[in-house]
Amino acid sequence: MIIVHGTIPLKSGCREQALDLARTMVEFTRAEDGCISYDFYIALSDPNTLMLFQEWETMEALMAHFQTAHMDDFLQQLPELVEGEITTKRYAVQRVDDEEPVVEEPPPIIH
């Protein structure tokens, strides 16, 4: 699974327009093959910061997302609404089911 987390700092007075843009992205992206979840949130510490959280089944599904028309529209409109640096982090997550944890013995203490 691939997890993407991002922050988008918005210009003052542009939050509602950004939320409308985000709602459109959510609607279209959730219908994509390989999309597990896709949501935007408003940061509690700053109401003019959008937080993005998305989960994808594979890296290929995420890469296909970047080629969609709705992503292109989003990326064309977003710069007008942003003030500051957009940050994103991508994580590859491996699921471990029913496996015993590996416990390593500590090295012996030598006196």
Amino acid 94: pLDDT: 79
* Angstrom distance (rounded) from CA 92 to CA 3: 6
Q: Is the CATH number of domain 6-92 3.30.70.100? A: yes
pLDDT tens, position by position, 37-48: 999 999 999 999
Residues of the chain with pLDDT > 70, as a percent, come to 85
Taking CA atoms, 68 is separated from 22, 31, 99, in Å, by 15, 12, 38
**CA-based torsion, 32, 41, 57, 64: positive or negative:** positive
Instruction: Taking residues 17-34, report their average pLDDT.
Output: 97
CA 52 to CA 87: how far, in whole Å? 10
Which tens digit of pLDDT belongs to each residue from 60-98?
Answer: 999 999 999 999 999 999 999 999 999 999 998 876 764
9 band by pLDDT with thresholds 50, 70 and 90: very high
Reading the block at residue 79, the tokens are: 């710069």
Q: Within 1-111, where are the H helices?
A: 15-29, 59-65, 69-77
